[in-house]
Structure 1
């Protein structure tokens, strides 16, 4: 039994009925969404759509990109392409100040997934954020570490027994609360399906390791702690159920809908970013970042939803400038698109996306690389789910008639699958639960790769 106050979240209509202490729905304070380790602002796309669908003004929703989203191996040692906890917090503090100035608001709401929650807690506790944040929502944040094992990377920020988390979790009052007012705190966690809150270290490379962490690791004493059955690490933030918990915490009411309500006029845009290169495997693209990739070339085509084949000429052709921005593109309702990215040092990447139901300015794009061992294939296709993981015990997943797809094993710990095929120029299909997506295969010999990117 946990000593923290927890609520087992069932269907959305029943969630968090006792938590009506937030601002009124009419106040609409600005919300800043903070992404996690290795991620970008684009991961919040469907969450923003759900807030908008329930009436939260688009100009009160903000999702910044941390330039170097990966944590250091040792928080105290500089590491190329990665950020420290201090740098992460400083970035968030600067973004909050920008939002306050732009909106004229006195305080913001902070919503974070995974590592993003560390920056939120650090900012509120050590960076002056307590006076500027009304509510902090921490979804899937490993608040007590991913491991708590003596001698294992002791200065890594994910070490539960390391100095960073020990300081954040130190008691704040006589009751031993790990969070303190005046900020109102909410945590959202999985019952047992979060890859970073596991008693054994399967998802951190050692399945026999006793991590010293439990399923309850994301909960915090003194916060309102909500448990969502069966969700994975990312779904604690990006699922419809997670949105329902957030909305009720902020407004005291159930949302009108958990679905994304389509708009009549849809305009999308975003940023093209790159990735650093591993010195041991230049093809791995091991260090994603959110820096602009100037000079990248982008073409966008409408496609057939059944075959992925192009419908006519490019609807947008663009060379990316210094800021990495692409667009805007007025998307046709019900029309899927192929985004073709090419840049020196990368493979020509064909990204297939399902129709956009609403406008978005965070449709970020990143070209891929073909690894050396994959170059023997005729065609290479990747299926990716940015806002969740694949769990063959829970989900229906079909990738070109393969179920489970290559590399997908029991448990929600893998969010992509790479498939080598023997023929180029053919349709390729995938399904994840209710979402289906189609694309085309392209020849590896021409340094081309296809990506089927799921929305939900």
Structure 2
């Protein structure tokens, strides 16, 4: 049942009808009274990633904006250092960041974008924790003066839990001082959003792992979180419901893009897909868990047979990574060639990352190493099947990993797992392993785990 808070919020704000994800269309949002800007007048957009993530997740969204005519030079994404939130926001923790540090990082990057573009205002688009950072910056860091519109996907706007005595000073607690001050009533209507900025929230109807009344996804199954499915909605915002999308798909799905484009422009996008480019130029960073550059790592790229994962000749690109983490640029053959990215990083072993063909150029093709862990002992090969921009949902998706459906580790119900790990035994030479998710299929070769090699099949969609 919808909470009283959200019922009031929905009645006081512009609210959309639900959107069928399979139709890949946006809900009808009333156009802004002002005429939409021309392409040359489009404001710069800064994309803000979520907890533990990187700018790489925004690559497909950026492709969609470009394919609809938003100038590429006005689309920005940044890798936040130490992207994981602290256990206690007030206590320093190695490899993690506070709410204040996150807001300061965003403020510095917005100022950089304004200076580079000459624009007076920016649009901010954030996923999950990125929404907390945006709200904090706009409300408390001076962002209200330079931000015109904000779109938040899957933002835990009222926390992931609100349980007395349970990590109350964590950023994601609805009882934390941080969350309470963000949601304090503002203006004559008692809105939860900062006035003077136009706000959009995108949420799932009931399939977001971090907006659940039951604590199953936070390690407390059967215990109430005191957060409803409507937790990401905010009074004073345009609140949109996207049926069956998971936590990340609230930002990275075609339906999320369509709703965001409509909100920003007052018009439906021409396409929710990608307009292809003849010879894509690819680049990105080789990074670890804290988004630090893997300086000294080597990245080697091979064209591969999409059906077998076998290499089609010698390497087509190789580079030793410098302090900026950049492994490119790499001039790809065309939009139909599949690639293997080999990342050899000190302290990590060697990771073989297989990807589908790239439809467009991209600067956020990030590469992360995979480790051999204790649970892998005895395996001849380790293969990881991963979906960075969404989760695996056995009730919703068609998927198979090395012939297994659902993939190992994917629960029969709920969208809370984005990675499946396969440990193969028996030795022998390399063989093909395939991961399939709906209409995307990625095939790679196995490599010897004893030599610290792992295989990653990384989905784009």
Q: What's the TM-score once normalised by structure 2's chain length?
A: 0.94
Q: Quick one: distance in 2 between partners of 1:454 and 1:187?
A: 26
Q: Quick one: distance in 2 between partners of 1:146 and 1:222?
A: 20
Equivalent residue number for residue 7 of structure 1: 16
1:339 to 341, 353, 356: 341
Equivalent residue number for residue 362 of structure 2: 360
1:314 matches 2:315: yes
- 1:79-133 Cα offsets, whole Å, 9 max, x none, are 0000000000000000000000000000000000000001100000000000100
Q: Quick one: distance in 1 between partners of 2:33 and 2:124?
A: 16
SS at match of 1:292: coil
Q: Quick one: distance in 2 between partners of 1:376 and 1:12?
A: 44
Q: Quick one: distance in 1 between partners of 2:434 and 2:240?
A: 36
SS at match of 2:291: strand
- Kindly tell me: are residues 373 and 150 of structure 1, through their superposed partners in 2, closer, same or farther at Cα, counting changes over 3 Å? same
Q: Quick one: distance in 1 between partners of 2:257 and 2:129?
A: 19
SS at match of 2:257: helix
Equivalent residue number for residue 148 of structure 2: 134
- Kindly tell me: are residues 392 and 25 of structure 1, through their superposed partners in 2, closer, same or farther at Cα, counting changes over 3 Å? farther
Q: Quick one: distance in 1 between partners of 2:432 and 2:24?
A: 38
2:254 to 202, 218, 240: 240
Equivalent residue number for residue 272 of structure 1: 286
Q: Quick one: distance in 2 between partners of 1:25 and 1:401?
A: 49
8 Å Cα contact 1:16/1:249 also seen in 2: no
5+ residue gaps in structure 2? none
Q: Quick one: distance in 1 between partners of 2:257 and 2:445?
A: 33
Equivalent residue number for residue 168 of structure 1: 182
- Kindly tell me: are residues 14 and 130 of structure 1, through their superposed partners in 2, closer, same or farther at Cα, counting changes over 3 Å? closer
- Kindly tell me: are residues 305 and 34 of structure 1, through their superposed partners in 2, closer, same or farther at Cα, counting changes over 3 Å? same
- Kindly tell me: are residues 14 and 455 of structure 1, through their superposed partners in 2, closer, same or farther at Cα, counting changes over 3 Å? closer
Q: Quick one: distance in 2 between partners of 1:233 and 1:141?
A: 9
Q: Quick one: distance in 2 between partners of 1:299 and 1:21?
A: 51
Cα distance, 1:265 vs structure 2: 2.3
Q: Quick one: distance in 1 between partners of 2:141 and 2:205?
A: 32
8 Å Cα contact 1:340/1:350 also seen in 2: yes
SS at match of 1:247: helix
8 Å Cα contact 1:339/1:350 also seen in 2: yes
Q: Quick one: distance in 2 between partners of 1:412 and 1:104?
A: 42
8 Å Cα contact 1:24/1:252 also seen in 2: no
Q: Quick one: distance in 1 between partners of 2:8 and 2:438?
A: 36
Equivalent residue number for residue 297 of structure 1: 298
1:59 matches 2:73: yes
Q: Quick one: distance in 1 between partners of 2:409 and 2:119?
A: 47
Cα distance, 1:350 vs structure 2: 0.2
1:452 matches 2:453: no
Equivalent residue number for residue 16 of structure 1: 28
SS at match of 2:375: helix
- Kindly tell me: are residues 310 and 453 of structure 1, through their superposed partners in 2, closer, same or farther at Cα, counting changes over 3 Å? same
SS at match of 1:273: coil
- RMSD of Structure 2 on Structure 1 (CA): 1.1
Q: Quick one: distance in 2 between partners of 1:348 and 1:374?
A: 15
8 Å Cα contact 2:158/2:227 also seen in 1: yes
SS at match of 2:406: coil
1:155 matches 2:169: yes
Cα distance, 1:343 vs structure 2: 1.6
2:432 to 422, 427, 433: 427
8 Å Cα contact 1:9/1:16 also seen in 2: no
8 Å Cα contact 2:26/2:256 also seen in 1: no
Equivalent residue number for residue 220 of structure 1: 234
SS at match of 1:208: strand
Greater alpha carbon shift after TM alignment, 143-152 vs 19-28: 19-28
- Kindly tell me: are residues 32 and 208 of structure 1, through their superposed partners in 2, closer, same or farther at Cα, counting changes over 3 Å? same
Cα distance, 1:12 vs structure 2: 4.9
Q: Quick one: distance in 1 between partners of 2:9 and 2:333?
A: 48
SS at match of 2:9: coil
Q: Quick one: distance in 2 between partners of 1:114 and 1:14?
A: 20
Cα distance, 1:173 vs structure 2: 2.0
1:416 to 400, 416, 419: 419
2:192 to 178, 186, 195: 178
SS at match of 2:97: coil
8 Å Cα contact 2:202/2:256 also seen in 1: yes
Cα distance, 1:19 vs structure 2: 4.1
- Kindly tell me: are residues 372 and 17 of structure 1, through their superposed partners in 2, closer, same or farther at Cα, counting changes over 3 Å? same
Report the count of equivalent residues: 443
SS at match of 2:64: helix
8 Å Cα contact 1:266/1:359 also seen in 2: yes
- 1:338-361 Cα offsets, whole Å, 9 max, x none, are 011112210210000110000001
Equivalent residue number for residue 393 of structure 1: 395
Cα distance, 1:16 vs structure 2: 2.7
Q: What's the TM-score once normalised by structure 1's chain length?
A: 0.95
